[in-house]
């Protein structure tokens, strides 16, 4: 069981590349916070993540109004803002721009991405000025009832793309961004899938470079013991697991399993399993493929009443209300 892939599928990760930016220093662009992006571009999404991939030159990325140090990016590097912070891409650290609100819409009579040039007229250019090119996009995903990934990532994830991946990635980017004989046919769909692939590539690089003392759900994927427990839970979520049976399955004592899992994942094992089952059930209910009783049985609940209680406790509404349409701002919703 590939736990990361399982989570990304369950939280309905979808991507879009919106901007292809060519710039020459000095320059600064600014992307608004996720709530604004969601309202304008991805209505209905639970959460929106911004990302940028530098394809030529270098620049600086940073979250607006955050104390984090700016990240110096070079061609072949990607930066992600998992919490959805407003952010800038600039030729110099601490420069600020202004979002171009006229570009934040879903085009009807043209295709994405929008091409943006921040290169002045030739007669105003200094040959020594640095040129930079980057693509910008957004990823939508669910955060309710349970998304263990988003909360475990830092506010800024800077990740190099491996040389092997960079080859196919730039090839696809060039093919999708540059119109050819076929024009823009299928370009948006191609870029949407590419955005998702780039996000996964960045996550893999981030996990590989975590320090040995790192904690959190992402670090738990890499830990031999915690990773084993997560694979068992995700591989067979409907089994009637207990702490004892999980411990036997992975060859640990109950106390060691409980302590190590909670240290990494920050919730006890059985609570994590409950929340993951509810995430799976919520997806079934939202898709309309099953009713409440069917969703409960599919994730291991023998009692519909027990499922109802757990769902109401962690999600903040009944399974039936969720099936009819959850809304993002339901009172008492658990994050």
pLDDT in tens, 271-295: 999 999 999 999 999 877 789 999 9
Report which of residues 53 and 185 the model is more confident about.
Answer: 53
Average pLDDT over residues 248-263: 96
Query: pLDDT at position 37, please?
Result: 86
pLDDT in tens, 144-197: 999 999 989 999 999 887 777 777 777 777 766 665 545 567 777 888 888 898
Report which of residues 311 and 126 the model is more confident about.
Answer: 311
State pTM to two decimals: 0.85
Report which of residues 97 and 240 the model is more confident about.
Answer: 240
- Domains belonging to the chain, first-starting first, are 3-208 (2.60.120.10), 218-324 (1.10.10.60)
Average pLDDT over residues 49-62: 93
Helix (H) or strand (E) holding 59: strand 58-63
Query: pLDDT at position 327, please?
Result: 47
Beta-sheet strand order (sheet of 87-90): 28-31, 87-90, 58-63, 71-74
Beta-sheet strand order (sheet of 131-141): 114-118, 14-24, 131-141, 47-56, 77-81, 157-160
Query: pLDDT at position 334, please?
Result: 36
Query: pLDDT at position 335, please?
Result: 33
Average pLDDT over residues 66-93: 92
pLDDT in tens, 184-213: 677 778 888 888 988 998 899 899 889 999
Report which of residues 41 and 85 the model is more confident about.
Answer: 85
Query: pLDDT at position 299, please?
Result: 96
Q: At what angle do helices 3-10 and 187-208 cross, to 10 degrees?
A: 140
Evaluate if residue 50 carries a pLDDT over 80. Answer: yes
Give 52's strand partners: 79, 136
């Amino acid at each position: 069981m590939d736990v990361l892939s399982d989570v990304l599928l369950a939280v309905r990760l979808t991507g879009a590349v919106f901007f292809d930016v060519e710039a020459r220093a000095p320059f600064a662009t600014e992307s608004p916070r996720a709530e604004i992006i969601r309202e304008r571009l991805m209505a209905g999404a639970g959460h929106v993540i911004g990302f940028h991939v530098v394809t030529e030159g270098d620049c600086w990325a940073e979250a607006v109004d955050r104390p984090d140090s700016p990240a110096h990016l070079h061609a072949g590097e990607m930066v992600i803002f998992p919490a959805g912070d407003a952010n800038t891409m600039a030729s110099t650290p601490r420069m600020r721009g202004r979002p171009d609100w006229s570009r934040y819409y879903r085009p009807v009579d043209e295709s994405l991405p929008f091409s943006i040039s921040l290169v002045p007229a030739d007669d105003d250019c200094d040959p020594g000025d640095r040129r930079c090119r980057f693509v910008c996009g957004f990823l939508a995903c669910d955060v309710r009832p349970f998304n263990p990934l988003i909360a475990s990532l830092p506010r800024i994830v800077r990740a190099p793309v491996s040389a092997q991946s960079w080859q196919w990635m730039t090839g696809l980017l060039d093919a999708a961004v540059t119109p050819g004989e076929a024009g823009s046919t299928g370009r948006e769909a191609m870029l949407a899938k590419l955005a998702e692939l780039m996000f996964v590539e960045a996550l893999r690089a981030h996990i590989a470079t975590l320090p040995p003392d790192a904690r959190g759900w992402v670090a738990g994927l890499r830990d031999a013991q915690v990773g084993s427990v997560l694979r068992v839970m995700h591989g067979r979520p409907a089994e009637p697991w207990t702490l004892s049976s999980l411990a036997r399955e992975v060859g640990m004592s109950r106390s060691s399993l409980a302590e190590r899992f909670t240290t990494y994942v920050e919730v006890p094992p059985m609570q994590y399993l409950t929340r993951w089952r509810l995430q799976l059930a919520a997806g079934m209910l939202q898709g309309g493929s099953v009713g409440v009783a069917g969703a409960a049985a599919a994730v291991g609940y023998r009692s519909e009443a027990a499922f109802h209680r757990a769902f109401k406790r962690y999600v903040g509404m009944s399974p039936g209300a969720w099936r009819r349409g959850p809304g993002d701002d339901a009172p008492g919703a658990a994050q």
